[in-house]
Amino acid sequence: MVSLFEHIRKIVLLGSLLFSLTIGAGCQGSFAMVQSNDSCAIMKRYSENKILLDEGNLLIEKKEYLQAIELFDRGIASIGQSYSIEGVEDDTEMKFGLSNIEKSKGSFEISANLKSSVLSARLQEFLNGRKCKS
């Protein structure tokens, strides 16, 4: 029997995929990008990391903080510095550092929530930096 958590997880993953496809379709495959002209690769990268964010947030709800932290760290590493936009102030480095301090102190819930915030903000900036050509 499939648990309620598994149903919710599938709905969240499907929502992430549909959101990503909608963004790509709205731009008709044409993005103004910093490092790449391949819109499919950009959307794939975004979608993969959005799924990590959503799964991590579900793990937080289940109080599985260390597993959530692991997913958020994977997403943060995958995005790297490609999210940054010149001229936009970024406070995520400070939050990321604080989350690592909290983790080292054993405050896993705080660390997981901070890392979720970091990944969420970086994904948003990642999208904001790739606007459709007119």
Please count the other Cβ atoms lying within 10 Å of the Cβ belonging to residue 104: 9
Half-sphere exposure of 46 (CA within 13 A, CB side): 26
Confidence at residue 31, expressed as pLDDT on a 0 to 100 scale? 38
How many domains, in total, are found in the chain?
1
Confidence at residue 100, expressed as pLDDT on a 0 to 100 scale? 96
The packing angle between helices 65-79 and 108-128, to 10°, is 30
Domain that holds residue 21: 4-132
Phi-psi region of 54 (alpha: psi -120 to 50; beta: other; left: phi over 0): alpha
Separation of alpha carbons 73 and 53, rounded Å: 10
Q: Which of 17, 26, 68 is nearest to 46 (CA)?
A: 17
Phi-psi region of 87 (alpha: psi -120 to 50; beta: other; left: phi over 0): left
Q: What string of pLDDT tens digits covers the 134 residues of the chain?
A: 556 556 555 565 555 545 544 444 444 333 334 444 466 777 888 889 999 999 999 999 999 999 999 999 999 998 877 666 666 667 888 999 999 999 999 999 999 999 999 999 999 888 877 654 44
